[in-house]
Amino acid sequence: MHPNLHHTGLVICEPCDVPVSKRHLDMVLAHMTLSDKPHLGAITEGSRAKDSVDMAEIVFGAEVLKGNCFILGNVNTNSPLLVDKVVTEAIRAYCGRGQGIIVVPFILSGAMGPVSTAASVTQAMAEALMFCAYAQMVRPGAPFVLGNFLSSMSLKSGAPTFGMPEPVISNYAIGQMARRAGLPLRCGGSLTASKIEDAQAAYERADSMHSTMLAGANFVLHAAGWLQGGLCTGFEKLVMDADRLGGYQKVLTQGLDVSDEAMARDAYGEVAPGGHFLGSAHTMRNYQTAFYEPALSDSENVESWEDGGGTDMRERAHARWTQMLREYHSPPMEDATREALEAFVVKRKEELPDAWY
């Protein structure tokens, strides 16, 4: 429902009461029937990747699927420098049928890569480009996104850290390298090691996401909601982060407008020196779109804030997501398509043995 989120990922909630061998079917079905936004497919095993593409084929049709990319798989290399069958099977399942793959080296500097940022960036490029070459061997021209998830860590405890200067620098470096390679880029996100929506979460996610924007990332997973190093999602943080994404999107899509209207020549003719522009014709023409207005921020004076209940950001965010949940309704889908998807899921669950690992 949020206008600043354009993609729903895959694992929003892991249905742990469903066997591992079957839960991908429920997750993909939920994305296809409960949202009309793009989403990822399963990657953890070859047949699960194939199921995801088969379900996309049901929705869009076999002929349309042949010439268009409707679903992506997102895989991590087994850093450092190891190729495993999860990645290669996913590439064959997705790219082999003209769908896309995102390959992301998962490097915690000091563990899966050296502690130096330059060496870790070099390793990430080597791992990702290796799989890019493999994807093109499977199907020349297969859609491919170069990924980078490079993070620092506490060398005292081994815990991953986020929003630190080293991964910020790596975002800028990997952005330049991806453009040099002529590939779209996935990196960054609103990342934090904080457990709640506090000051630590705010500054870590801000540094991580702002550098992701300036790096020129084309696809951002974990753009909203990430808490505790990715071990959980905070609903309040989800809408807080998405609120800020709208500002980043304005920077990227609009930038600095230098049109005749933006230069406001008539306003300077109307407003005398020492006057003000609040009531000028130029302001009245543009006041509704001139500035980005974050829905959750409170910029009024303290008296107005107190009169409104004196709520903090977490309280306002809680009210926002619960209101959205109350107002949610599923997007329309043709009955025949929905029935075909549900029948596919039932059939595959009957065919697959229960497996809990």
Report the alpha-carbon distance of residue 357 to residue 354 in Å, rounded.
9
- Which candidate, 93, 28, 86, places its Cα nearest to that of 58? 28
DSSP-assigned letters across all residues of 242-261: HHHHHHHHHHHHT----SHH
pLDDT computed for residue 16 by the predictor:
94
| Domain co-membership, 231 together with 283 | no
Cβ neighbours, 10 Å, residue 130: 16
| Domain co-membership, 282 together with 214 | no
| Domain co-membership, 199 together with 276 | no
Report the alpha-carbon distance of residue 51 to residue 169 in Å, rounded.
38
pLDDT computed for residue 67 by the predictor:
87
Question: Would you say residue 337 lies in a domain?
Answer: no
Report the alpha-carbon distance of residue 128 to residue 130 in Å, rounded.
5
pLDDT computed for residue 83 by the predictor:
84
Helix then strand then coil, % of the chain, to nearest 5: 50, 10, 40
Question: Would you say residue 356 lies in a domain?
Answer: no
Question: Would you say residue 355 lies in a domain?
Answer: no
| Rounded mean pLDDT for each run of 10 residues along the chain, 357 residues in total | 95 92 97 96 96 97 92 94 92 97 93 93 95 96 94 90 94 96 95 96 96 96 95 95 95 93 96 95 94 93 95 96 96 96 98 92
Q: Residue 79: which CATH number?
A: 3.20.20.480
Question: Would you say residue 281 lies in a domain?
Answer: yes
| Domain co-membership, 271 together with 235 | no
Question: Would you say residue 127 lies in a domain?
Answer: yes
| Domain co-membership, 232 together with 311 | no
Question: Would you say residue 71 lies in a domain?
Answer: yes
pLDDT computed for residue 161 by the predictor:
92
Q: Give the contacts of 158 (CB within 8 A, at least 6 positions apart).
A: 111
pLDDT computed for residue 357 by the predictor:
82
Token code pair at residue 91: 């590439």
Give the bridge partners for 106, in sequence order: 149
Strands 100-108, 144-153: parallel, antiparallel or unpaired by DSSP?
parallel
Owning domain of residue 273: 260-297+307-327
Task: Look at the alpha carbons of 335, 336, 341, 347 in this order and tell me if their dihedral is positive or negative.
Answer: positive
| Domain co-membership, 200 together with 135 | yes
pLDDT computed for residue 211 by the predictor:
95
| Domain co-membership, 152 together with 279 | no
Token code pair at residue 173: 């470096």
- Domains in the chain: how many in total? 2
If you search the block for the tokens 């899966």, which residue do you land on? 112
Question: Would you say residue 229 lies in a domain?
Answer: yes
Question: Would you say residue 147 lies in a domain?
Answer: yes
| Domain co-membership, 239 together with 315 | no
| Domain co-membership, 41 together with 121 | yes
Q: At what angle do helices 46-60 and 20-34 cross, to 10 degrees?
A: 20
| Domain co-membership, 248 together with 264 | no
